[in-house]
Each structure stands twice: as C-alpha cells, then as structure tokens.
C-alpha cells in the first residue's frame, strides 16, 4: 500500500480522532480541519503540506460539505484533489448530489475500515494517474512551444518554406535531394561595384539594408524560396519545397513588383548622386534540389540548366 496525506474535515472532534486513528494505523499521515473554510485555507496555503485525499463531512458550521466540495471543484488548483464524503446524512438525494458535484465516493460515518482503506487507495491511484497525464500534456505543450520557437528562429535565417521543411517529419527525404520543375529568378544590381568604390562603407551598408528591407518582404509575400542573397543580388525559386501550379506567374509578378519598388528606392539614391538599377532574369526548367554544404553549415539549394539560364538572362537584362 502507498501511504499518503489525508485531510480530515469534520466539526466533531471525536469523529476526527476516530478517523485519524484509523488512518494512522493503515500508514497515512493526517491533517485536520473543523469546517470547510479552515480546510480551504489549509489547502490553499503554499506553506501547508500537500494533501492527497480529503475526507469531508456534510453538516458543519460556517461552511458545510456541499459548499466546500463546490469550492474545491471550482478551484483549478484543487479541482483534481479526490474528495470522499463521510457523513451521517444517508439520504439518497445527498449521495447523488455529492457524486454529481465531483466527489470520488460517499460513505457512511460507520464505514468499515477495509472499505475506507480501499477507497482511499483507489482515490490516490486515480490522482497519481491524473497527475501523470497532466504532466505528460504539459511536457508535450512545452515541446511544441520549443518547436515553435525553433521554427521562428530558423525563419529568421532561412526562407520560411525551408525553415518549415527542416522541422517537418518528411523534411530529411526532401533535404537528401529530389528533382522538380521550378522557376528561378535572379535579381542583380547594376553599378553596385562603382557605387561601393565611391560611397562610404556606412552609406553602402545603409543602402543594402534598405534594399533588402524592400525586396525581402516581397519574396515572402509571393511565397518564393530565397536560396541566397549576396550584397547586390537575390536568387529565388518557386514550386519547391511547396508545390505551386502558377510558379512561373508568381516569379513574373514578383519581378514586376520588385522593379516598381526599386524605382522608388533608386530615385532616392539618384538624388544623392548614385545611379543604381536592377536587372532581373527568369527561367523555368528542371532542377535537383536539396541540402548543399558541409557539416555545420548547410544551405537549401538548387542545381539545373534553368538556374544557369536565369542568371544569364539577369546579366543581359537592360
């Protein structure tokens, strides 16, 4: 038998002593309360020992058994605590009322010691099982929260689609390598080398931050997969790892919006004396995609003729 701590709640000292003596003889520790209000104060006191089972009388001053039981079941911190009603009120209506309110059992005050022992052991076993289930759920919730945080962190450094792929169940198979038709898009800055040589480094860094700040959200909005960006260019592809029937149209829509937005950005820098433009190339073709790199530093990349063509078209774009 597993011993536990039982709170005996009864306004009659003689009844409490009888129950305490019985409980002690079968190996349980005991606490006492004269009425429901005192019992609740004990249970809610963080400095009071934890209780495994409550034995509750019905007829008590200040706060009777019904009120006490209702208060226990309404308190999230105490609602799982098993309550066994031990009362001289043997009316069926009282029994049904207590069971419906959440009591584990309803026993007469002349209860047989073996029956009480069995009911306490069963109640404690049920509580341990419930505590284990709740602990498991809490651990699962913490695990899911950790995964969400990891995905959020990954999304800061990876394309959102790749971040989701890395943390998914079938991600490893995708990362290992696969073949798929994609649409690749290269975006390259014109006159960036001369701009970098003429401008102060702080100006160059400020421009790149503004440039990336404008272009990056457009790629995300069009659900493109950003393979990489260098200081002066982007390489983005569509239809992987998420399938997109309209991948070519998405790439063209992104290119048009990039061109329009860069017009505003370029005009501002032209007023400062720097002429910067962009060239964009788009091509559709089959590619092999997956993990590229080495242990400790991997990227999700694509290799194929369409990507080479998109890069060449970007270089030729006026």
Output the pTM of the full model: 0.52
Which H or E element spans position 194?
helix 192-198
Burial class of residue 101, CB neighbours in 10 A (0-12, 13-18, 19+): middle
Per residue of the chain (318 residues), give pLDDT as tens. 567 899 999 999 998 898 888 888 888 899 999 999 999 999 999 888 889 999 999 999 889 999 999 999 999 989 889 999 988 887 888 889 999 999 988 988 887 888 888 888 888 888 777 777 777 777 887 777 766 665 555 555 456 666 666 656 666 666 777 899 999 999 988 888 888 888 889 989 988 988 988 898 999 899 998 887 777 788 999 998 888 999 999 999 999 999 999 988 888 888 888 889 999 999 999 999 888 878 777 777 889 999 999 999 998 988
Report d(CA 178, CA 300) in Å as an integer.
Answer: 12
Report d(CA 279, CA 265) in Å as an integer.
Answer: 15
pLDDT at residue 100, rounded to an integer: 92
**Nearest Cα to Cα of residue 109 among 84, 72, 126, 82:** 84
Cis peptide before 241 (omega within 30 of 0): yes
DSSP state of 112: -
> In degrees to the nearest 10, what's the CA dihedral of 61, 66, 67, 73?
140
Residue 151 tokens read as 């995905």
**Nearest Cα to Cα of residue 288 among 179, 175, 174:** 179
CA angle 301, 303, 309 (to 5 degrees): 120
Tell me the CA distances in angstroms from 83 to 51, 175, 238, one per residue in order: 11, 55, 61
Q: What's the distance, CA 277 to chain centroid?
A: 43
CB atoms near residue 264 (< 10 Å): 9
pLDDT at residue 157, rounded to an integer: 47
Report d(CA 264, CA 259) in Å as an integer.
Answer: 9
Phi, psi of 301 (to 5 degrees): -130, 175
Question: Hey, what long-range contacts does 90-97 have (CB within 8 A, 24 or more apart)?
Answer: 94/58, 97/66
What confidence tens digit (pLDDT) does each residue in 244-271 have? 999 999 999 999 999 999 988 888 888 8
Report the sign of the C-alpha dihedral through residues 287, 289, 294, 296, in that order.
positive
What does 215-239 look like in DSSP terms, one character per residue?
Answer: HHHHHHHTT-EEEEEETTEEEEEES
Report d(CA 193, CA 216) in Å as an integer.
Answer: 21
Name the 3-class secondary structure at 300.
strand
């Amino acid at each position: 038998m597993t011993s536990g701590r039982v709170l005996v709640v009864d306004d009659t000292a003689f009844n409490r002593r009888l129950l305490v003596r019985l409980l002690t003889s079968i190996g349980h520790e005991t606490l006492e309360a004269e009425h429901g209000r005192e019992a609740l104060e004990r249970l809610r006191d963080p400095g009071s020992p934890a209780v495994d089972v409550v034995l509750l009388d019905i007829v008590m001053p200040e706060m009777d058994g019904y009120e006490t039981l209702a208060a226990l079941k309404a308190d999230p911190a105490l609602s799982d605590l098993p309550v066994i009603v031990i009362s001289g009120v043997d009316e069926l209506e009282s029994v049904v009322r207590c069971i419906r309110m959440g009591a584990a059992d309803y026993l007469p005050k002349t209860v047989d010691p073996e029956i009480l022992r069995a009911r306490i052991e069963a109640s404690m076993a049920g509580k341990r099982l419930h505590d284990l289930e709740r602990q498991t759920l809490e651990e699962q919730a913490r695990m899911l929260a950790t995964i969400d945080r990891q995905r959020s962190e990954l999304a800061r450094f990876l394309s959102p689609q790749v971040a989701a792929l890395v943390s998914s169940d079938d991600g490893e198979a995708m990362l290992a390598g696969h073949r798929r038709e994609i649409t690749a898009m290269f975006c390259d800055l014109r006159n960036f080398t001369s701009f970098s040589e003429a401008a102060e480094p702080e100006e160059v860094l400020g421009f790149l931050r503004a440039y990336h700040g404008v272009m990056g959200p457009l790629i995300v909005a069009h659900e493109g997969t950003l393979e990489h960006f260098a200081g002066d260019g982007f390489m983005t592809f569509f239809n992987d790892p998420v399938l997109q029937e309209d991948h070519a149209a998405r790439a063209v829509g992104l290119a048009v919006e990039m061109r329009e937005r860069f017009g505003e950005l370029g005009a501002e820098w032209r007023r400062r004396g720097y002429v910067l433009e962009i060239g964009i190339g788009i091509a559709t073709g089959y590619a092999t995609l997956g993990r590229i790199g080495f242990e400790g530093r991997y990227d999700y990349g694509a290799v194929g003729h369409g990507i080479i063509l998109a890069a060449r078209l970007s270089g030729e774009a006026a």
